[in-house]
Amino acid sequence: MVPLFAQTPPKEKLIPMAANVAPLFQPLEVGSLTLKNRVVMSALTRNRAVPNTVPNEVNVEYYRQRARGGAALIVSEGTLITPQGTEWPYVPGISTDEHVQGWKKVTGGVHGEGGLIFCQLWHTGRLSHPDAPEQKKSGPVYGPSAISARGGKFRFLEGTPGYQIPTEIDDPRQLIKLFKHAAENAKAAGFDGVELQGGNGYLIHQFLDSTSNKRTDHWGGSVKNRARFGLETLEVLSEVWGPDRVGVKLAPTGGYNDMGMPLEETLETFRYFISEADKLGIAYFCLVRYQESADPVIDGIKRGTEHDVVGSYRSYIRNARLFANGGILPDEAVKLVSEGNADAIVFGFLHVAHPDLAKRIQFGKPLHPEATMKQYLNGPGGSVEDQVLGYTDYPEEKYD
C-alpha cells in the first residue's frame, strides 16, 4: 500500500519545530510512574475494533508503532465501559473477558516497545442512540436528566438521526459500578493505569454541567452535588488501581457535544471539582484548552465558554501533574513546560500521521498536518487493508 504521504510536502505546509526542545525530554514523576519524557499521546477515536468492539491485530500494531515512536505515555482511545450506541461504530470496549484478552495483546505490544499505556474509561451518557446495535445490548440511553444534546449525526443509522432524549438514571451509582468493573478489567488486561473521560460532553461532564444536569436530588443543583458523580467515580477507580495510577480528562470550555455554562459558573464548578479530585491523590489532570474548531455554532452563537484553561485552574492543582491538551504545537509545548505552566503535553491529532511523533520533535523531523487531519476518522471497511488505511500505513523515520 502506498503511504498517504510518500514525499515531503512543500515547506510552507509543514509545522515549524521549536529551536530547543530539551524541556520536553526530561523525565517526569507521575504518580508512581516515571515518564521518560513529557510527550503524551491523547485518546483518539479510530473506529478500528472490527467487527465486534474487541481489539484486533491491526490495533496492536497501531499502539506498538506509537510506543516505538517515543511517546512517554499512551492513553488508549475512548474505551466503552458498557455497550453503547455511539456515533462511531467499531470503537473498543472493556466490559467483557473478550475485550480483556484483546487488550492484553495491545498492552503487551506497548510494553514490548518500552512504553506505558493507560486505558481511557468512557461512558457517552446521553450521546448514544437507542437504535444503534450496541446500545440494544445494554438497554436505555442514560443521562443525568432527560435532556437531549443538540447535534449528532449517526451516519450508520437510516436517516442519520440526531441525539435522542435520554432516560434519567434513578440511581447514578449503578453507572459508577460499571466504571469500577471496567477498571478491574483494565487491570486484568495489563494497562498501567486508567484515565477517566471527564470531558467533551460525555457522562461525567453531563453531571458537572448545569445545562445537562437539572436534577433536584443530591446529584444535581449545587456545584458540590453536580461534582459528586465524577468524584465518586474517581474514588472507585482509586480503590481498584490506587490513586497514583488514575488520571482524569476535563474540558472546562465546553462547546463540543452541546456543553457549556456561563463563565463564572464554569470557573466555580471546575475549580471545585479539580480541588476536590486533587485531594484524592490522583496522578494527573489532562486539561483541554479552548479550540474554536471544537466549538459548534448552535442557534446562531458559539456553544462554548472561551477562557484560559491552564491559567484558570493551574493553581488549584496542588498534588497531581497538569497535562495540557488542545491544539498545542511543539514550539508552544516547550514554552508551557519550560515556564512551569504544564508538566507534560498531550498531543492528539499529531499522533495520527506521526507514529514517531516524540522522536520527530526531538530530532527536528518535519510534521505533516494535512495528512493528520485528512485521516483522523477515516472509517474502516471489512478488509484488513481498509482498516490499515490512514491508521498504520505512515512511514517512520530512521533514528540512529
Residues labelled as active-site residues: 202
Q: Which three cell numbers stand for residue 335?
A: 514554552
Please state, in angstroms and rounded to a whole number, the distance separating the CA atoms of residues 310 and 19.
Answer: 23
* Maximum alpha-carbon separation in the chain: 61
Nearest residue to 200 via CA among 269, 297, 303, 280:
303
For residues 57-69, one letter each, b for 16 or more C-beta atoms within 10 angstroms of the residue's C-beta and e for the rest, the string is ebbbbbbbbbbbb
Please state, in angstroms and rounded to a whole number, the distance separating the CA atoms of residues 98 and 134.
Answer: 15
> According to DSSP H, which parts of 3-124 are helical?
57-68, 97-112
Give residue 260's identity as a one-letter amino acid code: G
Please state, in angstroms and rounded to a whole number, the distance separating the CA atoms of residues 168 and 147.
Answer: 8
Residue 155: CB atoms within 10 A of its CB come to 9
Kindly compute the dihedral angle of the four CA atoms of residues 392, 398, 399, 400, in this order, to the nearest 10 degrees. 140
Give residue 340's identity as a one-letter amino acid code: G
**Position of cell 479539580?**
274
What is the C-alpha R_g of the chain? 20
Task: Measure CA of the first residue to CA of the last residue in the chain; give whole Å.
Answer: 26
> According to DSSP H, which parts of the chain are helical?
57-68, 97-112, 133-136, 173-188, 203-208, 223-241, 263-279, 309-313, 330-338, 357-363, 369-374, 384-388
DSSP state of 315: G
For residues 134-147, one letter each, b for 16 or more C-beta atoms within 10 angstroms of the residue's C-beta and e for the rest, the string is bbeebeebbbbbeb
